[in-house]
A = this chain, B = another copy of it.
């Protein structure tokens, strides 16, 4: 992938997380990168192509992280996940799911599919860590691991949304409580 193309995707990712997919335009990309509208269209003929790539990029990054965390105990791996969200919160960004899910019905079929894939992969990963962590007595919770994964993931996602509206401290209160509840 060329350097320009990478810059476009990176900036688009930020814009999606800050303003939403339908609220940013090609101009928001071409102006800061000091290229023309048509140059962006050369790399991504349709906005939908750009959106799909942004989600794909996030999937790759998640896979890299998972690989990097592999040696850690399960409770620490989950803490690492929380830290990723914390970083987003610090930058005033919501996660991709939180940003794209409300507009889901306005998205192209490829974007919808990729978003589903992302959600499933993250939930499956978290459920597995929860289950293993519980077996090793590193974590404590009731019910199915997948249900617990749903709860934690929704806590993290919406904490970024609420933080934006009510102030960034909301995220810390939520993430601390989530981790305490697992002990």
A153 to chain B, nearest CB (A): 7
Pairwise interchain contact A19-B94, C-beta atoms closer than 8 A: no
* A98 interface contact, C-beta 8 A: yes
Q: Is A23 an interface residue (CB 8 A)?
A: yes
A65 adjacent to chain B (CB < 8 Å): no
> Which of B22, B102, B116, B155 makes the CB contact (< 8 A) with A94?
B102
Chain A contact residues: helix, strand, loop or mixed: helix
A93 to chain B, nearest CB (A): 10
Give the shortest distance, in Å, between A170 (CB) and chain B (any CB).
6
A window 18-52: CB within 8 A of B? 18-20, 22-23
Interface locus among A68-76, A130-138, A158-166: A158-166
How far, in whole Å, are A165 and B157 apart by their CA atoms in the complex? 14
For residues 127 through 173 of chain A, which have their beta carbon under 8 Å from a beta carbon of chain B? 142-143, 146-148, 150-151, 153-155, 157-159, 161-162, 164-166, 170, 173
**Do A97 and B165 touch (CB < 8 A)?**
yes
Q: Is B106's CB under 8 angstroms from A19's CB?
A: yes
Question: Are A143 and B180 closer than 8 Å at their CB atoms?
Answer: yes
CB <8 Å contact, A147 and B174: yes
| Interface flag for A119 (CB, 8 Å) | yes
A67 at the interface (CB under 8 A from B): no
- Residues of the B chain whose Cβ atoms lie less than 8 Å from the Cβ of A20: 20, 22, 102-103, 106
A-B residue pairs in contact (CB < 8 Å), sample of 6 = A20-B106, A97-B161, A112-B165, A143-B177, A151-B174, A155-B158
